[in-house]
Amino acid sequence: MTSWLDHTINGLIVGNIYALLAVGLALIFGVSRLINFAHGSVYVVGAYIGWVAVAHLHTPLPVTILLVAAGSALLGLLIERFGLRPLQGSTKIAPLLATIGISFVLDQIVQIVFTPDPRALPSQLPDWRFQIGGGTIGALDILIAAIGFTSAVLLFGFLRFTKLGWAVRATAQDRDAARQMGVDVDQVNRIVFAIASALGGLSGLLVGMYYNYIDPAMSFQATLKGVVAEVVGGVGNIPGAIVGSLILGLVESYGIALLGTSYRNLFAFILLVVILVLRPNGLFASKRQLPPEPLTGTFIAPSKPVPLPTPALLAALAVAAVLPLVIAQPYLLQTLTNAWLYALLGISLTLIAGTVGQISLGHAALLAIGGYTSALLTLDLGVPVGLSILAAGFVAAGLGTLLAWPAFRLRGHYVTIATLAIGEIVSLAILNWESLTRGPIGVFGIPPISLFGYPIESARAVYWFTLAILAVLAALQLRLLRSHLGRAWRAVRDDDVAARSYGIALDRYKALAFITGGFAAGISGGVTSHLYSFINHETFNAQLSILALTIVILGGMGNVFGAIVGSVLLIGLPEVFRVAAEYRVLIYGLVLLLLIRFRPQGLFGTV
C-alpha cells in the first residue's frame, strides 16, 4: 500500500507541473485559437535560465524563480510580437505552423549555446522528507504544490477581478466583439503570452529540479504533455486544463508502477487519442454543440498553381536520369538519392496534408512501419529484398490507414494533434515490442538492395532505382489527382460539410488518401532501411515529420512536383554546402517561418 500512496503523490506532483504548462496553453488557445507548439521550447529556455542562475550566478531560490518567470515572459512577448502578430489575418493553419518553426529555431539555439548534453539542475532546497500515512513528501514536492496552487489562485484573481483579466475573458469569448467594445486585443495577446510563458518557464525549472536533469530535447515532450493535458480538460478550458493535468500525472504514475518507465509516454498518447475520439471537446464540455463554422478558403491559402506542362516534367525527369552519367562523385549521387527518398515522403504528405487538407505531424511513422516491415521480412522470413520493399508499401498503406482512422472524424488543428500522438505511439510501440522489433537495440545487418538476384549497390544503381520508383509513384499520383478522386479529395479539404452534402463520405476518401500516401511513404522507409543497413525507433523521428511538412509547404500544398523540388532544395542544398547537422535543423525552422510569413502558397502554389 505504501507504494500506491507514493505513486499517487508522485502523480499529483507531476500533474501539477503539467498544469503549469497546460494552463498556459489553454490561455493562449482561449484568446487566439492557437495550439502553441513553441510552448515546450519556452519551458526548456526556462529550465536553462534556471540552470544559469543556479550554477553560475548562485542566486537564492526566490530570485531564481523570479528570473525564470521574467525571462520566460520576455521570450513569450518576443514570440508573440515577431512570430505570430505578423500572421494575423492569414490562413488558420499558419500560426500553428509558425509555432512549430519557432520551436525548431529555439530548441536548436539552446542546443548550440548549451550543447545537447544533459545537465544537472540542483534543487537548492533542504534534502529532507517526512512521512505521511504510508508515503513520504519532500520539500521540493511542497514547493511544486505551492507554486501550482499560488499560480492558480493568482490567475483566477487576475481573470476574475482585474480589468485586464476581464478583457482577456472577453477576448476569449468573442474577439471581434471585444475589439469593437474598445478592448486592445493585441495587448490582451501580449499579456496572455507573457503569463503563459512565465508559467511554462517555471514548469521547466521545477521539472529540472525534480529530476535534477535538463536537456534541450525535453522541449518536444513537454509540448506534447501540455497539449495532452489541455485536450483532456477541453481545449481552452483553464480549470479543465488543471484537472486534465492531474489526471494525466496520475495515469502516468500508476502506469509506470504497473508496467515500467518506458511505457510512460505511451499512456499519455493513448489517453489523448481516446479523448479526441470519444470526447473531442474534453471531459467537461457540454454535450452536443452547434456544427462548427466552415473552414472554407481559410485553412489553406488559395492560390493559382504554377502551370507545369507534361513535356517540361518529362524533360526534368530526363535530366535527372542522365545526371549520373555526368556526375562522377558518388557523394553527390548519394545526396540526390537521399533527396528522392525524401521526395517520396513529400509526395505522400503533400497528398494527405495538401490535397486532402489533413495536416499530419506523424508522417514519419509511415516510414518507420515501411522500414521495419522490409527489414524484418528480409531478416526474419528470408523474403527477397525487392519483394520486401513492395510489401513495406502495402503494410504501411494498410496499417497507416488503420492507425490514422481515429483522426478521420477530427478537423483542423485536432487532426494535427492526433496524428502527432499516433506517430509517437508507433515509435513507442517499436521501442517496447521487443519480441518483434528488437526494442531499443534496433535492427542490424539489413541486407543491401537487390532486384531478382542482381545487387543494386553502386551509387549510380541506387540512384536510378530510387529515381525510377519516385517517377512511377509521382506519375500515378498525378493520374489520381486528375480523376474524380482528386476532385473529391480537394472538395474534402476546401469544405468538408459541403463535400458530405454532395455524397463524399469523409472516412472513405480520407482512407483512400492514406492508402495512397502510406504506400509511397512505406516504400521510402523500406528502401531507406536497406540503404542504412541499421534502423531503430529513432531513425524515423518526429523531426522528420516536421521536415516533411516543410518540404510540402515549400513546394506548395498538394503539388507533386513541388514536393520533389522542395525535397531537393531542403535535403540536397545543405548537404552540398556541408552544413553542420545542428545548423541544418535551424535552417529548416527558419525556412518554415519565412515561407509561412512571405510565401504561404510555396514555390509552385496550391493545387
Partner 1 sequence: MPLLEVSGLVRRFGGVTAVGGVDLSVEEGRLVSVIGPNGAGKTTLFNLITGLDRPDEGKVSFDGADITGFAPEKLAHLRLARTFQHGRVFANLSVLGNVLVGAHARLRAARPRLPVLGALGELALALIQPGSVRREEAALRAEALAIIARFGERLLPRQDQPAYSLSYANRRRVEIARALALSPRLLLLDEPTAGMNQTETAEMQALIAELKASGLTILLIEHKLDMVMSLSDEVVVMDDGKVIARGLPQAVRHDPAVIEAYLGHREVGGGAAEKALAEAAE
Binding site residues, partner 1, CB under 8 A? 286, 290-291, 294, 296-297, 300, 302-304, 476, 479-480, 483-485, 487-488, 490-491, 493-495, 497-506, 508, 511-512, 515-516, 606-607
Q: Which three cell numbers stand for residue 533?
A: 543497413
Q: 194 or 491: whose CB is closer to partner 1? A: 491
Bridge-based pairing state of the strands 129-132 and 454-455? unpaired
Report H helices in 53-184: 61-78, 93-114, 139-161, 163-173, 175-180
> CB of residue 558 vs partner 1: minimum separation in angstroms?
8
Q: How far is CA 262 from each of CA 7, 192, 210, 421, 430, rounded to the nearest angstrom?
A: 16, 35, 19, 16, 11
> CB of residue 369 vs partner 1: minimum separation in angstroms?
19
Sign of the dihedral through C-alpha 563, 564, 569, 572: positive
Q: Which three cell numbers stand for residue 463?
A: 540512384
Q: 486 or 572: whose CB is closer to partner 1? A: 486
Q: 506 or 590: whose CB is closer to partner 1? A: 506
> CB of residue 310 vs partner 1: minimum separation in angstroms?
16
Q: 160 or 479: whose CB is closer to partner 1? A: 479
Closest CA to 332 of 580, 584, 572, 579: 572
Q: 187 or 296: whose CB is closer to partner 1? A: 296
> CB of residue 372 vs partner 1: minimum separation in angstroms?
24
> What is the residue type of 249?
G
Q: 91 or 541: whose CB is closer to partner 1? A: 91
Q: Which 8-state DSSP code applies to residue 130?
A: E
CA distance 195 to 182: 22
> CB of residue 583 vs partner 1: minimum separation in angstroms?
36
> CB of residue 306 vs partner 1: minimum separation in angstroms?
14
Helix (H, G, I), strand (E, B) or coil at 330: helix
CA distance 212 to 216: 14
> CB of residue 484 vs partner 1: minimum separation in angstroms?
5
What's 471-514 look like in SS3? Answer: HHHHHHHHHHHHCHHHHHHHHHHHCHHHHHHCCCCHHHHHHHHH
Q: Provide the 10 A C-beta neighbour count for residue 545.
A: 24
* Helix or strand run (H / E) with residue 138: strand 135-138
Q: 131 or 501: whose CB is closer to partner 1? A: 501
Residue with cell 492557437: 34
> CB of residue 493 vs partner 1: minimum separation in angstroms?
7
Sign of the dihedral through C-alpha 76, 77, 80, 81: negative
> CB of residue 177 vs partner 1: minimum separation in angstroms?
18
Tell me the sheet residues that pair with 136: 131
Q: 494 or 575: whose CB is closer to partner 1? A: 494
Q: 221 or 303: whose CB is closer to partner 1? A: 303
Q: Are 64 and 47 in contact (CB under 8 A)?
A: no
> CB of residue 356 vs partner 1: minimum separation in angstroms?
12
E-state strands within 372-520: 450-451, 454-455
Mind giving me the DSSP string for 158-208? Answer: HHHHSHHHHHHHHHHH-HHHHHHTT--HHHHHHHHHHHHHHHHHHHHHHHH
Q: 20 or 481: whose CB is closer to partner 1? A: 481
CA distance 25 to 366: 29
> CB of residue 471 vs partner 1: minimum separation in angstroms?
16
CA distance 272 to 491: 28
* Helix or strand run (H / E) with residue 129: strand 129-132
> CB of residue 542 vs partner 1: minimum separation in angstroms?
29
Residue 596 CB partners (closer than 8 Å, separation 6+): 87, 90, 94, 97, 98, 101, 553
Q: 85 or 409: whose CB is closer to partner 1? A: 409
> CB of residue 294 vs partner 1: minimum separation in angstroms?
6
Q: How far is CA 598 from each of CA 35, 105, 267, 301, 565, rounded to the nearest angstrom?
A: 21, 18, 39, 12, 19
Q: 302 or 455: whose CB is closer to partner 1? A: 302
Q: 290 or 381: whose CB is closer to partner 1? A: 290
Q: 302 or 440: whose CB is closer to partner 1? A: 302
> CB of residue 457 vs partner 1: minimum separation in angstroms?
32
